Structure formats: structure tokens, C-alpha cells
Amino acid sequence: MGRFIGLTKNKGSGLAIEDPDFDNSGLVLTSNGTGFVLAGGAALDRTVLPDFVNSNQSISTNLVATGAFDNSVYTFAWRDGVQYGLSLSSSGALSGSASSMDAESVLKFDIYDSTYDITYEADVTIQVSLSNSYPAITTSPTSNVSLSPGVSQTTFSASNSPTEWSIISAGTLPNGTTINNSGVLTFGSITIGTFSYTFTLGVRNSSLPAGVYSTTSFNKSFTFQEPIGQQQYQGAYGQNGGQCSFTWVAPSGVQKVNVMAIGAGGGGRYDWAACGGHGGGMVWANDIPVTPGQGYTVQVGRGGCWNGTTGGCSCWPGMKACGGCCGCYGGCFDFGSVGANGACCGGYGMMAYDNTGGGGGGGAGYCSAAPASSQTANYCGCGGGGGSATSHHSSTFGSGGGGGTGSCGMCCYRSGACGACGNPGYSHQTGSGGQGGSGGTCGNPGEPWSNWRGNGYNCGGTFGGGGGSQHGGGWGGPGVVRIIWGAGRNWPCTNTHNL
């Protein structure tokens, strides 16, 4: 059998259904002009006020009432006059210092629904530590936070050695956001930019009852800066063409990258009057979208061998810088042209003859192989100079390897020389590989490399320099794939060095 609930006149014009067992049952019958309707009573959102506060803390919050009609409009007032020196506006702005509050303070509010002319009563009890022993969050609830590139964590501070932190209300924080017991808030996911999040954090220690937190509400602005980094994959000398394959995993927060690739140089030939190896091609593209955590296949060309093998291509998904052809009598003539599948080819090696060249310079060529999703395409590149030959029977004694191209930018795109030429070859003292390109604004020249095999090898410089020809025949310079990310960085010239 149900209990009897009386109908009585509430404050204002509404009629309340009164349960004699409870005060303020909150169920209201009110006239809407044609009859009576039942409404839930308004209630004060308790979460906006702390349960526990130190006396040296201030209170600043906005009272929120909910629960009556959808079109209810509330105002707030003290029920028994100003209390504890706190200030309360009719809109619910409550502020003041807790220093004048009692150990157990009861704030008595009247909540007035102006739409229906109903007044509700709300009492809020707050425990105040007069000795200031409760933990309290000291981080400003309103200041902006600018996070370092790629960092998705920020640390909150609190007094009195808190032992436990909690997200009391996640509010608008990204899904998956957590806080550990050191106050480190880790965002579940981030997007580059500035965002405001509303949330409430709690902190506690043994001075508070179990499960009770000292809470602070935040409406805080966070700026997530773009991560900065770089990654370089390069082939090794002393290989027989082909490719090395790697997986590049996009780090957290990295959403776009700029990639440059240089194919490996072709090997020189051990034949009379043969060309040096051709230079590897170059390609680059900017603003290629990537997904953090996803793996991307990177292939790096290995230099062609002295026995005349082709340098390996260097590739990023959707783009390809071809390796240089081997030195030969005729060979391929992709100099400055677009090769098969849009690949970019480097300079070709020259037949060694008096004062003429050897290995081709790396990186010259025309690029049309940027990934479709990137923001860059169709740039010309320029690489190291070709190797040269001695004026003394150069066709017999061989030529230097071609200069490679530095991996940190395109020097000749602006000013300054491209990679230096290789040295002349001469008998056992064959020329070393040409010095790599200067790398433009940053400088990261390729390393010449030679003579480790005893009787001298005229190898191409890094990266992508063609091997020298004739006696000893040189290995092609290895290829490279360089990935950079971060704001204000792009190929061919802008902040492409290590940051």
C-alpha cells in the first residue's frame, strides 16, 4: 500500500506535493494557465562547491541550480543574510575567503525560480580546516598552458603532500585523459592547436575521509605545439646495390612530415674509357599526412658496386628517388629528366677522358613524384658535382667519384655552390669520392670515402654520388631518406637541419 502524501501550499504560487516523512520533497504542482503540471524541484549542483577547504583558501565559484522546468530561470540569495563574509550575486557568483568560516560551515541559500515564482532552499555544509591541513590544488584554474612540442602531459600542483589525484569530472577533456598520483595529467589524444577544456580535479591525503577529495574546477586553455624532430636513414658503403628496408613509426603528435630522398649512386666501371656511375636522383615533398603510431615503409638505396651495379632507389610511400645507373659506355641517359614511374634521376657519370668527369653528382634531377596527398610537387633539385679525371691519361687511370648531396637542404636552391666535385683519379692514388653538397643553410656535407681497399677505390660521395670509373672502379655513394617534422620546417631549404 502506498503512503499518503499531502498537498500543501508551497512558497510562491506553486503547490507542492508534500511527503510527511521528508522535508522539501521538491515535487511541485503549479498552474500553467490551463491546469496544474508536476515539476521536479530545483536543486543546487553540489559539485561546484568544495566539501573540504582550508581556511587560507579562497572560494570562487558559480552556483548552478537544476531540476525544475526546462524554462526555469534561477536567481540566488542568502537565506539568512550575508554569511561568513562571502559575497553572492543574484546570478550565483560566490566568492570570498574561507578564513572567516567555521570548522563546519553551513551556507544557506535561497534559489528563486523567477519563471514560476517558486523559492527553494538549499543548505550546503563545508568542512574547513582551520589548521590548513587539507590538500589543495595550487595550480591556477584559469591560466593558459603551452605544452612543448609533442608533449601531451602537464603537471598539476597541490599543497600538503597529496597522495591521490582524481579527475572528478572529465568535462570536455579529450577521451582517455588520465591523471596519476603525482598530478600528471596525460591527454588521451591531442591535436595541434589551442583548446579550452572544462574539468574538475580532486586531490586528497589522509587528512580527508576515504573517497573524499578537495576539488578544484578548471576552465583552462591548452596549447599543443607541433612536435619537432628528424629521422635519417642511410645506406651503407661497400654494398652491391639493392635496398635496405625499414619501418618508420610516426611518433605521438606527429601528423605531417616532410620527406626528402636521394637514390644511391651507381657503381663505377672497371673498364677502359667507361663512365663513372650515375648519381642518384632526388625527390622531396612537404606536408605529407601521417597517423601517429602507424608504420611507414622506408627504403634506402645502397650504392652500386665497382663491378657496375646500379644504385638502389630510395623510397617513401608514394615517392621514389631512383638509384644511379652503373657506369658504362652508353647506359641510361635520365639526366635531368623524369624517369620511369615519375622517378627522379641524378646526373650521369662521364666517360673519363682528359679533364673530364667521373661519377655523376647525386641529387640532380626533376621531381614529379611527390605523394598526391602532399602539398609540394615538381621541384628541381641539384646535387654534388661530378667527379673529375686527371689530365694525365685519365681514360686509363680513372676518375673520381661524383660528389654527393648533403641531406640537410638544397644549397643551390638559394645561394652557394652545390656539392664539390670529386677529385681526379690517378693510378693507385685514385681520387676520393667527391665532397657532398653543402646542405644549404644547415650544412651536413656528405663524406668522401675511398681507399679502404688498399689499392684505392674512387667512390661517390654521400649521398648518391656516382662511383668513379676505371682502375679500382668505385662504389656509388649510398642513398638517404630524411624525414623532418615540426612547424616552420620544409624542403628544400627551411630548417632542414637537426633541431
Q: Which residues of the chain form contacts with another protein (CB under 8 A)?
A: 150-151, 227, 229, 231-233, 236, 238-241, 245-249, 251-252, 254, 267, 269-272, 295, 297-298, 305-309, 393, 396-397, 426-428, 453, 455, 471, 473, 475
The smaller minimum CB distance to another protein, of residues 88 and 298, is found at 298
Interatomic CA distance for residues 29 and 430, integer angstroms? 104
C-beta of residue 268 within 8 angstroms of C-beta of residue 359? yes
Minimal distance, residue 293 CB to another protein, in Å: 8
The smaller minimum CB distance to another protein, of residues 374 and 469, is found at 469
Minimal distance, residue 390 CB to another protein, in Å: 10
Minimal distance, residue 245 CB to another protein, in Å: 5
Minimal distance, residue 429 CB to another protein, in Å: 9
Minimal distance, residue 250 CB to another protein, in Å: 9
**Peptide linkage before 289 cis (omega within 30 of 0):** no
The smaller minimum CB distance to another protein, of residues 50 and 401, is found at 401
Q: Is 67 left (phi over 0), alpha (psi -120 to 50) or beta?
A: left
Minimal distance, residue 307 CB to another protein, in Å: 5
Closest to 74 in 3D by CA, of 119, 14, 24: 119
Interatomic CA distance for residues 314 and 291, integer angstroms? 22
Among all chains, which residue has been given the C-alpha cell 657496375? 308
Minimal distance, residue 359 CB to another protein, in Å: 16
Closest to 122 in 3D by CA, of 50, 46, 44: 44
Closest to 365 in 3D by CA, of 268, 252, 484, 278: 278
The smaller minimum CB distance to another protein, of residues 272 and 333, is found at 272
C-beta of residue 182 within 8 angstroms of C-beta of residue 162? no
The smaller minimum CB distance to another protein, of residues 278 and 471, is found at 471
- Burial class, 396, CB count within 10 angstroms (exposed 0-12 / middle 13-18 / buried 19+): middle
The smaller minimum CB distance to another protein, of residues 305 and 344, is found at 305
Minimal distance, residue 300 CB to another protein, in Å: 11
Minimal distance, residue 392 CB to another protein, in Å: 9
The smaller minimum CB distance to another protein, of residues 13 and 252, is found at 252
Amino acid at 77: A
The smaller minimum CB distance to another protein, of residues 208 and 254, is found at 254
The smaller minimum CB distance to another protein, of residues 84 and 246, is found at 246
In the sheet that holds 104-113, the strands lie side by side as: 52-54, 118-129, 104-113, 74-78
Among all chains, which residue has been given the C-alpha cell 667519384? 401
Minimal distance, residue 191 CB to another protein, in Å: 17
The smaller minimum CB distance to another protein, of residues 418 and 484, is found at 484
The smaller minimum CB distance to another protein, of residues 74 and 485, is found at 485
The smaller minimum CB distance to another protein, of residues 195 and 270, is found at 270
Minimal distance, residue 339 CB to another protein, in Å: 23
The 3-class SS string of 481-495 reads: EEEEECCCCECCCEC
User: In sequence order, which residues have a C-beta less than 8 Å from that of residue 49 and are 6 or more positions away?
Assistant: 59, 61, 63, 94, 107, 124, 126
Minimal distance, residue 487 CB to another protein, in Å: 16
